[in-house]
Structure 1
């Protein structure tokens, strides 16, 4: 009796809710949504929808891969594949980024699943940071955006690799305990019974993670669109060649704009006359690793202390590496 109630109660409540909404719509006047049209059709709406449309395919790819990992790959396989040596483990995690064309929006569910399958914290952090930058889509878009300045694409890959590896080594040395807010093993819908098909399990797990991550993506896209609408690009060029200040400014801009790693190179190239190439590298590497919408998604999965430590180490490594390249600017 109880099992039958739990099985049929959710769809019955859903049908009742739909019927109630239809009755309300039929008997009461609907609100006037025309006041929102100027907002949605203006710069804010264009930027907001652009961020959402850019990120959704990659986030969808991420949650599908996460569900397949959960259903098809046992824990002992992950533990056997993971190298025991930390240096080899970091190289392995960076190489994963070359294989998966997933941006930062889709990395969080994949990394969480890998950690629950047995991947160490430091390796998961390296994959989380390096994957959005080292993937072939980001590399190709950087080559296209900067045209003949092909060295920018190679410098971006090199700086991302070095910063992610350094962050991983620091976490291997100092990280203790699990940074996850909660384990996935005990969550609702985690176990797939034998009579359910593999496709059904993938869709069920994917939908759960998609809606869990989607609300943070929408919030981050809204704040990002608001900032881009209010800040004029013409006011950004005053400190473009100011040494450390230029790097700090581009780091903050990358964090706030929260652009996708597959398209941020075109935005960075538009700042080329006003900003140094090394400061643009800070923008190109830090943005996909640490941005506003990504921070919200990380906080939904990881503890605040871990997110803060990860962001500080990675940010310092990126800015420091870009400054070193600035000192050797003759390579450009």
Structure 2
């Protein structure tokens, strides 16, 4: 009974700390997605592949979306003419490189501020490097799903008889909370065109629907992640956790796997990682905080609406390898 009480207390403490950041992240993300025009942003992005990847990685400060909203925004950027290096950089970095996540991580690790800066710095470097690697593919259409590739083909070689549909400003349209996510670019464009002309009060109502739906979806993930953290800390023998968490290599591998499996929202994952701070190495905590937002298994369905499976495997593999190497360096030479 004492263990159950301890686990429940830890679970509630994680929920109470994390829920305000989840609500703030969802609300702020929705405001930007519904009222910001990305076409003007695309026009000023640098054309150089490396600088474009770096700029895309930094856009998260303007579009603070978590890993549940970064895929539709990255797709929109590509469909509006942004290079793939920009889209990949944004896809990987936006869930971490934004003020809300920085604030949440600082709140959780105020006694270990170096973890905050490792998280931001490694995420920025890894996202930029992977975006730069993908820029070597001159024709990216073989890496994209047929609907996105055909849309880009029409933009590159538009038919003379009719204009290709252009995705308008705003984000993917959730509509009523009972409707499924729209993932097809043409369906998405039609939905958005029917919304842009609507009055502000109508769009605010849609924003409320969007916020409620995301809170239901992400809140469930938060509850599950907090429960896993509490149960593992209380019921798993401490000798096992210490043996796994104090080794420089296995601790990183364990947290990489945990980050991929749990797939908890980046606005609150720092509180999840905090529960392991006393038993795992600093590098492994950074690995969880860097890799988790990049590789979100619950968002694979959305990623498959843009990229083919082999492209996603490339992204996952590069992100995991670079995260492991950087965090191993932290364990061996800094911690």
Partner of residue 94 from structure 2, selected from 120, 131, 135: 131
Q: 1:323 to 1:153 in 2, by over 3 A?
A: same
Q: Give the TM-score of the pair, scaled to structure 1.
A: 0.69
Whether the 8 Å contact between 1:65 and 1:110 is mirrored in structure 2 is: no
Q: Which runs of 5+ in 2 are unaligned?
A: 1-7, 148-183
Count of residue pairs brought into register by the alignment: 284
Q: Which runs of 5+ in 1 are unaligned?
A: 1-41
1:176 and 2:140 correspond? yes
2:330 corresponds in structure 1 to: 325
DSSP-derived class of the 1:133 partner: coil
Whether the 8 Å contact between 1:66 and 1:206 is mirrored in structure 2 is: no
Deviation at 1:239, TM superposition (A): 0.4
1:143 corresponds in structure 2 to: 106
2:33 corresponds in structure 1 to: 66
Partner of residue 101 from structure 1, selected from 64, 88, 98: 64
Deviation at 1:186, TM superposition (A): 4.9
Q: Give the TM-score of the pair, scaled to structure 2.
A: 0.69
State the Cα RMSD in Å.
3.7
Deviation at 1:59, TM superposition (A): 4.3
> Which structure has the larger Rg?
1
1:310 and 2:311 correspond? no
Give me the whole-angstrom Cα distance separating, in 1, the residues matched to 2:129 and 2:310: 19
Deviation at 1:275, TM superposition (A): 1.1
DSSP-derived class of the 2:191 partner: coil
Q: 1:56 to 1:203 in 2, by over 3 A?
A: same
* Aligned pairs (5 A) from 1:100-249: 100-174=63-137, 176-177=140-141, 179-180=144-145, 182=147, 184-187=185-188, 188-192=190-194, 196-197=198-199, 200=202, 231=232, 234-235=236-237, 236-249=241-254
Deviation at 1:46, TM superposition (A): 7.5
2:288 corresponds in structure 1 to: 283
Whether the 8 Å contact between 2:54 and 2:124 is mirrored in structure 1 is: no
Whether the 8 Å contact between 1:108 and 1:297 is mirrored in structure 2 is: yes
Give me the whole-angstrom Cα distance separating, in 2, the residues matched to 1:56 and 1:299: 27
Per-residue deviation, residues 9-53 of structure 1 (Å, max 9, x unmatched): xxxxxxxxxxxxxxxxxxxxxxxxxxxxxxxxx89x989x98998
Per-residue deviation, residues 134-168 of structure 1 (Å, max 9, x unmatched): 21222222222223322221111111111111111
Whether the 8 Å contact between 2:233 and 2:275 is mirrored in structure 1 is: no
